[in-house]
Structure 1
Amino acid sequence: MLKDITSRVNQLEIRELLGYAVLSDPDAVDQAVDFYRNSEKNKLYGYEEEGLIIGVIGCSLKEKVLTIHHIAVIPENRGKDYGRGMILELLLHHQAEQVVAETDEEALGFYRSLGFEVYSLGETYPGVERFRCVYDVEEPGE
């Protein structure tokens, strides 16, 4: 079950999960924590199963566009569709018309498997190519 854990963003287990989304860079984890703690428009959700948070997804919504800022699942639960489930639950909850995410090459297979279109942003950091992933939600009956 997906639940809003924004108020718990500084807890150790939540910080650890965010670490998976930012390649375990301690400074990037601190920035992610501040990102959710310092703005009411940025929300962090956790996927809870049997009392444990096994995945997190952070997002913001503006004009029916849901932007995914962070997504991570604990390593032993990857490949079990938790990431897909979190995105689908957010889509239903927010009734978004489009979902966008920026990611690196490692996550492209995940986004493509969900039907996202992928666009290169080029080298946004020296030697690091980033990608914009976009999913347009179809209206029922389309």
Structure 2
Amino acid sequence: MIDLKGYHHSGEVMNLLAECMWPDNERLENEYRNYRSDDSRILLGKMMNNQLVGLIGIALLSPGKAELKHISVKQGYRNQGLGKEMLEEIVEKLSLTELAAETDKDAVNFYRRTGFLITSLGEKYPGVERFCCVYRREEP
């Protein structure tokens, strides 16, 4: 994976970010700016055939612990294991023992299949159930 903080095609990064969050332009720009300016945030991308096909963004919380902020795979490359591959790679690369994420009903099964423990947070917003997803691995 490559570091996307200084990636020269910011539009590609913004398009992938838009696929995993509410695509409000101001919010997208703020998130991307946060990744580029905050050293506790990491934004990595998956390249295939010289094009950006996936991204993963985390916020480091403490040694070995992080929050998964964003994960996205470009349409046409989904259901090939790239999301799981990116998760495994970032957990290994950063020696994470715990990675937590919050998601909705549409994505919760991805996390379940990837080995996360799932807890319902209930209806966090009117008519929208949210889930806390936590991946833990034993320290080496």
TM-score, with structure 2 as normaliser: 0.90
CA-to-partner distance for each residue in 1:76-133, whole Å, 9 max, x for gaps? 0000000000001001100011111111111111000011111112233232221110
- Aligned counterpart, 2:26: 27
Shift of 1:51: 1.2
Secondary structure of 1:76's counterpart equals: coil
2:97 pairs with 1:78: no
Shift of 1:139: 4.8
Secondary structure of 1:77's counterpart equals: coil
Please, what is the CA RMSD of the aligned residues? Answer: 1.8
Secondary structure of 1:8's counterpart equals: coil
Contact 1:9 1:36 in 2 (8 A): no
CA distance in 2, matches of 1:81, 1:47: 12
Matches within 5 A, 1:1-142: 2-8=1-7, 11-61=10-60, 62-139=62-139
CA distance in 2, matches of 1:88, 1:135: 10
Moved more, 127-136 or 86-95: 127-136
Moved over 3 A (4+): none
Secondary structure of 2:29's counterpart equals: helix
CA distance in 2, matches of 1:4, 1:35: 14
**CA spacing shift, 1:38–1:10, aligned 2, 3 Å:** farther
Contact 1:44 1:57 in 2 (8 A): yes
**CA spacing shift, 1:53–1:19, aligned 2, 3 Å:** same
Contact 1:9 1:37 in 2 (8 A): no
How many residue pairs match? The answer is 139
Structure 2 unaligned residues grouped into runs of 5+: none
CA distance in 1, matches of 2:43, 2:82: 15
Amino acid aligned to 1:111: Y
Amino acid aligned to 2:79: G
Amino acid aligned to 1:116: F
CA-to-partner distance for each residue in 1:3-59, whole Å, 9 max, x for gaps? 111223871111001010114333332232132133111111000112111000001
